[in-house]
Amino acid sequence: MYRLLVVDDESRIRSVIKKYAEFDGHDVTEAGDGMEAIRLCRAERFDLIIMDIMMPELDGFSACREIRKFTQTPIIMLSARGEEYDKINGFEVGIDDYVVKPFSPKELMLRVEAVMKRVRKVTTEAPKKENVVITLGDGGLRADVTARLVFIDDKRVDMSPKEYDLFFYMLQNRNIALSREKLISDVWGYDFYGDVRTLDTHIKLLRKSLGRYSELIVTLRGMGYRFEG
C-alpha cells in the first residue's frame, strides 16, 4: 500500500483516481491546487504524488519545483496537452512520469506501481565501496560514479534523477551501440508504460545538461544511441 497525494482542481478527476487507487489498496489524500499540495508535502510524507499541470493558485510545474526543494517524492504529472515542450518542462523540474488526459485510470495505477518499483530498486541497491571517477573528453567532464555526481570544468552539473540514471548507464556502457528498446528496459524497467519518445526527450535534456560535451552522445539513426568516451 502506498500513500498517494492526488492534486487536481477538478474534483471529478480526483474522485476517479481515488476510487481506483483505493481499490488497489492505496491511501489517498486530495489537494485542489499547487499551494495546498506544497503545504501537505511539508506536513506529511507521501510515497508518490499525482499532479495536474493546469491549476489555479499555483500550476503543477511551479508546485513541482517548490516540492523538489525539500523532497524527492516521485511525481507523476497529468496534462490535457501532450506537447513535447510540456513533457520536457516537466522532466526538467524533476517529475518521474507524464500522463496525457484523458487517461485510463487502470493504466495510471500501473504507472504508479512501475514508478514505485523503480524507486524501491534504487533504494535497495547496495552502494559500491570503491570510489570510481571517470574523466571524459578533454578532461573537463568528470563523473563520480560512486557519488553519482557530474562536473564540467569543476562545476557541478544539476540533472533530474532520471537524467542521472540515463547518463551513468550510458557511461558504464560507453562505446557500445544501445538500442532504444534496451535503454528503456534497462533504465526505466521492463514494466515501463511510456514510449520511445520519453527516451528521446531525456536524451535532449541530457545533451543540454552536458553542454559542449553533448556530442559524446551519438544518435544511431533507426537504432538508438552510443555514448563515446
Tell me the pTM: 0.67
C-alpha torsion sign, points 171, 182, 73, 117: negative
Best CA proximity match to 170, nearest among 114, 220, 126 = 220
pLDDT digit string (tens) for 99-130?
988 889 999 999 999 888 877 765 555 455 45
pLDDT digit string (tens) for 9-35?
999 999 999 999 999 999 999 999 999
Once rounded to an integer, what is the mean pLDDT over residues 169-192? Answer: 83
pLDDT digit string (tens) for 119-160?
776 555 545 545 678 888 778 898 988 788 899 998 999 888
pLDDT digit string (tens) for 45-87?
999 999 999 998 899 999 999 999 898 899 999 988 777 778 8
Could you list the beta-strand ranges (E) of the chain. 3-7, 27-31, 48-52, 75-79, 97-100, 133-136, 141-144, 149-152, 155-156, 178-179, 217-220, 224-227
Q: Which domains does the chain have, with CATH numbers?
A: 3-124 (3.40.50.2300), 133-227 (1.10.10.10)
